[in-house]
Amino acid sequence: MKLEFPKVLLIDDDEPFSKALVRWLSELGYRPSIAPTAVEGIALLEQGGFEALLLDLQLPDGSGHAILRQLHRVGMRVPVIVVSGTAEMDDVVRVWHENAADFLRKPFRIEDLAASLDRALGRALRENPSESRPSLATAPVAPAPARAQPDADAERRSHLEVTAAAQGSTAGAKDLRSAPSALRGTAVPRGGPGTPAAAATAGAAPIPHLRPAASKLLERLKAGTVRLPILDPRVARLPELLRSDNWTLEDLVNTVTRDGGLAAGILRSANSAVLARGKELTSLRDACTRLGSRAVIAIAFEITVKGQFAAPSEPFRSILKSSWRNAIVASRVAPALGEMLRVAEPDELRLMALFHNVGELLCVCLLPGMQGQSASTVTLEQLAAEIEGMHEELGAILATSWKLPPSVLRMAGHHHRPAQHPEPKDQSTSRNLVLASWAIALRAGFTYLPGQEAVDPGEFLNELGLTQQHVSHVYDAIKTWSVET
């Protein structure tokens, strides 16, 4: 079978920028095409064969957001990298939830685009190793050419910027046009680590799979120079109880009664409108008996975990607080959905939903200081982009450190993408339940990023055989809940 390099489509009406970028992509071995309008771009996509899309948001005849929504609607799973001269927080959050693979603001460094393409193509290969995608070529990708030997100007050239942006700067376009010959032979390995293409370039310098701050954070975590939050001592034994098959009600009661404040908080939560069933509970033993031990454990985590995360300053502190509120609401919605579907352990879903986005909390706490700058200089745009790229990996690291149950660990590390292919039915159900609960919390007003829009839970509900009508009473119940953080 003939091997081919990936076809990449650029939808952008900025002619100087487009021509310069296409020239550079060609030199790296990609097969690029240009569409200056949304209509032309959609027509080319419908012809099929493209394995990545570079998309501007502001087009003369439409919006890039509309194209993203249309791709999702028809099931075309081509990775989309948004390249835009505008980077309002609303745009960043919207493309994130419209399933874009990445967001690059013009002007951007060519090395950032190269890494982003590598990441997007590798992710698509990992998630769909044998699946035929609508209107996409299925021919294997050829190995990257051998890397040229570095020269004295290599470092300078690696930081060349793509500066032919919205103004059509002549100087910017000239800089980019000079890049291909300078970078000849430095093609990015396709498919990520462990793939044949990556192995073919084993002697080359590694290409980062995350943004700079994310890469630095992971390096420091692995080196032990950045400390992870630790579990509150009051609940440190709870993960052990969850992993054990022979723990008793007495073990749980003894654990949570050691702290009066924690015991009072559990009873207060158990008697709230969302959890109260019948007469008011007056003892922890009654709470454990009536609500279920896993629900009580979730309440204990709900009360204590928030205190283990501290953001350096505003607006990160507010984001952190709002994110945890979203997690609490999602954790209360999840078992309700589970009961509708008659899952075996609906209260286990509560823990999964509570911790599924714990990696986002870690990002908000640690990322602002990762680039040698004060937290005040880290933009919300940067934070959102870093979160999108790494929160699952960070969530898995933290869940492992805290020794949380395997189901919670899997959800923290793989809620947007399955942990294995094919995904077992029970895991697929749990994942869609948690994502539906998160989306319902957003729609109920529990957003956490500035300008964040509600996500339609319909996609996840449909996977579960549910409709919006099935969950209408959940929104009414949420209005009565007291969510303390």
Note the pLDDT tens digit of each residue in 265-320. 778 777 764 455 556 777 778 777 777 778 888 888 988 888 888 887 778 888 88
* Pick from 273, 336, 343, 345: nearest CA to 473: 336
Task: Give the CA diameter of the chain.
Answer: 77
CA distance 438 to 233: 28
Q: Percentage of residues in the chain with pLDDT exceeding 90?
A: 21
The angle, 0 to 180 degrees and rounded to 10, between the axes of the packed helices 358-366 and 406-413 is: 60
Q: Which CATH number fits domain 309-478: 1.10.3210.10, 1.20.58.220, 3.10.20.90, 3.40.50.2000?
A: 1.10.3210.10
Q: Are strands 161-162 and 108-109 parallel, antiparallel or unpaired?
A: antiparallel
Strand partners, 105: 84
pTM score, whole prediction: 0.56
CA distance 202 to 164: 33
Provide the pLDDT for residue 129: 45
Q: In the predicted model, what is the mean pLDDT of the chain?
A: 73
Q: What is the DSSP letter of 187?
A: P
**Rounded to the nearest 5°, which phi and psi values hold at 47?**
-70, -25
Q: Which CATH number fits domain 7-208: 3.40.309.10, 2.60.40.10, 3.30.70.600, 3.40.50.2300?
A: 3.40.50.2300
CB 466 within 8 A of CB 340: yes
Cβ count within 10 A of residue 472 = 9
CA distance 458 to 154: 49
Strand partners, 354: none
Tokens at 478, concatenated:
């949420």
Q: Where in the chain is the domain with CATH 1.10.3210.10?
A: 309-478
380 versus 252: the higher-pLDDT residue is 252
* Helix, strand counts (H, E) of the chain: 23, 9
| pLDDT of 209 higher than 50 | no
CB 92 within 8 A of CB 62: no
| Radius of gyration, alpha carbons of the chain | 24
| pLDDT of 203 higher than 90 | no
Q: Where in the chain is the domain with CATH 3.40.50.2300?
A: 7-208
* Pick from 387, 384, 367: nearest CA to 375: 367
Half-sphere exposure of 130 (CA within 13 A, CB side): 2
| pLDDT of 144 higher than 70 | no
